[in-house]
Chain A
Amino acid sequence: MSPRYPSLSCIAIIFIFLCCPVNSSAHAQDTKINRVYKHFAGQYAGNIGLVSVGVGRSVFNNTLAVGLFYGYLPASINGVEVHTIAIKSALIIFSVKISREITGLTYGGIGAQYAITRNTYIKHPEYYPNGYYSPEAIHLMPFIGAKIRVRYHNSEKEQRWVGWYTELGTLDDHIYNVINHRYTFEPRMLNLAFGVSIDLL
């Protein structure tokens, strides 16, 4: 038997709300220059595949980044193949200049993923009664991260960076269970990701 679940639109509204850029006081002075940077990223783990690659855009002088990722988890490792499409949105919380060419960043954000694997749906087949299950193909993934970035191009008009990052994230399911079922939040509910990003010229 299955309880009835809220519709997909409710989840979408919450996601859009959480993804809305919030102006950080620490960066109020930086956001005066609204440049758009394109970047490429490669990531290991982080719940969007064994490896994933993505492209994105950074706006407000690199304080807000939005990326589209494709992740792959092969059957040879998992037993079942999983393809993942994810959107990640991250806002810099603090940045610190370590040297002239090196900057450290901390950021927080949220991702949404759609996975293609077995028996996983956004809309279930017609033989299921309407609303029998919530869509299991979509998950939200809040995360925080830290990045070290090195400037490799500097001109009067623009700067380009290459960065190495690690992210600590969790899944919507875990948060739901902690709130609704009063679970104790455990380290196993967290996951790590490691990645590299490079601004494109």
Chain B
Amino acid sequence: MRFRSVFFFSSILAALLTIAGCEIPCEFSPYDARTSASNYNTWNISQFAPTVTTTDTLHIALLSDTHLYYSDLTAAIAAINADHRISFAVVLGDITEKGLAHEYESFLTGISSLTIPVVTLVGNHDLRSNGGVIYEKSFGPMNFSFHYQNYFFVGFNNIIWENNNTQPDYPWLEEQLSSTDSTVSKIVMAHVPPHSPDEDSQVQSPVYENIMTKYHTMLSLHGHLHQYRYSEKDNVAYIAVSSVGEREYCLLHLCGNSFSIERIHF
């Protein structure tokens, strides 16, 4: 018994010391807000190189609700990488389950194999716990905008409950849309679609839709529902993209003032 005890103790101690010498982290908390990435969206937007002329069709990959479906995300990325027409990708939020740092890290590790720039929106799950702090450190501001060719893209944080039950920053959204040349097509991206069953949607939907109509937005892109949904109101198209966990993403084809959407099953 004594020999067995000595052997067992030595083995455990040796294993722990070996592991300590490897890359086992000393985690301080599950709610750790430290992150390896910084301003990932800002950096990716700076990588946009619109070398094609404005008469060419622009192809954009739309993914959403990757949550913990990392193997599905890997498969989606492989399919996107194989399509050389695509200029950039947009992830329409919910890249985590509980807004934890290790979930953000897993997403960033997964998405790093994408060969094209990617822009990531914040979703309701991403704001749980200290997720909001981690998102801003990792990706940059939750509300952002950028021009690509003749299109103006706006990323808008329309999360309410996980944002301490506060209203989305509609004045900022209106300011962005009003400041743009009327010849530029406007595309707004926000995680929660209008008429969602949650996030105070009954009250928020008319407000959001009025803004979309008022500023002649061409497209309003969303996730959240985990299933594809298409609707139109006052010449604005509202598209909710399915979850990557459903083995589906969308390809948005833009040409001048027209667009088409293609559902890709992988």
Q: Which residues of A contact B (CB under 8 A)?
A: 1-2, 26, 44-50, 71, 73, 77-80, 82, 84, 93-96, 104-106, 113, 115, 117-120, 125, 127-129, 132-133, 136, 139, 144-146, 166, 168, 171, 173-174, 177, 181-183, 187-194
A47, B12: Cβ atoms under 8 Å? Answer: no
B226 to chain A: which residues have CB within 8 Å? 1
Q: Is residue B22 within 8 Å, beta carbon to beta carbon, of the partner chain?
A: yes
A118 to B98 Cα, complex, angstroms: 12
At the interface, yes or no: B189 with Cβ under 8 Å from chain A?
no
B164 (CB) vs chain A CBs: closest residue:
A119
Is A191 touching B164 in the complex (CB atoms < 8 A)?
no
Interface pair A192/B133, CB less than 8 Å apart? no
Q: How far is the CA of A145 from the CA of B34 in the complex (A)?
A: 26
Q: Which of B2, B28, B68, B124 contacts A78 (CB 8 A)?
A: B28
The answer to whether A47 and B27 touch across the interface, beta carbons within 8 angstroms, is yes
A118 CB, nearest partner CB in chain B, Å? 5
Interface centre among A47, A84, A119 (most CB of B within 10 A): A119
In the assembled complex, B262 has its CB within 8 A of some CB on chain A: no
Chain B nearest CB from A83 CB (Å) reads 10
| Residue of B9, B105, B224 with highest tally of chain A CB at under 10 A | B9
Could you tell me the dominant secondary structure of chain A's interface residues? mixed
* B142: min CB distance to chain A, Å: 14
Whether A119 and B162, one on each chain, are in contact in the complex, defined by CB atoms closer than 8 angstroms, is yes
Would you give 16 A-B contacts (Cβ < 8 Å), ordered by A? Answer: A1-B65, A71-B29, A73-B29, A78-B32, A79-B34, A95-B5, A115-B31, A117-B31, A119-B131, A127-B161, A127-B165, A136-B128, A144-B12, A173-B100, A190-B24, A192-B19
How many of chain B's residues have a CB under 8 angstroms from any CB in A? Answer: 56
Q: Knowing A73-B29, A73-B32, say if A187 contacts B125 (CB, 8 Å).
A: no
Flag B177-195 by CB within 8 Å of A: 1 or 0 each: 0000000000000000000
B266 on the A face (CB < 8 A): no
The answer for the CA separation of A83 and B36 in the assembled complex, in Å, is 23
Contact check, A191 vs B9: say whether CB atoms are below 8 A apart: no
Closest chain B residue, CB of each to CB of A170: B27
Q: Are A49 and B24 in contact (CB under 8 A)?
A: no
B9 touches A106 (CB 8 A): yes
Cross-chain contact of B28 among A49, A168, A188, A190 (Cβ < 8 A): A49
A140 to chain B, nearest CB (A): 11
**Is B49 among interface residues, defined by CB-CB distance under 8 A?**
no
Whether the pair B198, A118 counts as a contact (CB closer than 8 A) is no
With a CB–CB cut-off of 8 A, which chain B residues contact A49?
A: 28-29
Known: A146-B9, A188-B23, A192-B20. A1 touches B29 (CB 8 A): no
In the complex, whether B16 has a CB less than 8 A from a CB of chain A is: yes
B76 to chain A, nearest CB (A): 16
- Please give me the residue from chain B that is nearest to A108 by CB atom: B12
The answer to whether residues A78 and B24 also contact, given A146-B9, A168-B16, A181-B68 and a CB cut-off of 8 A, is no
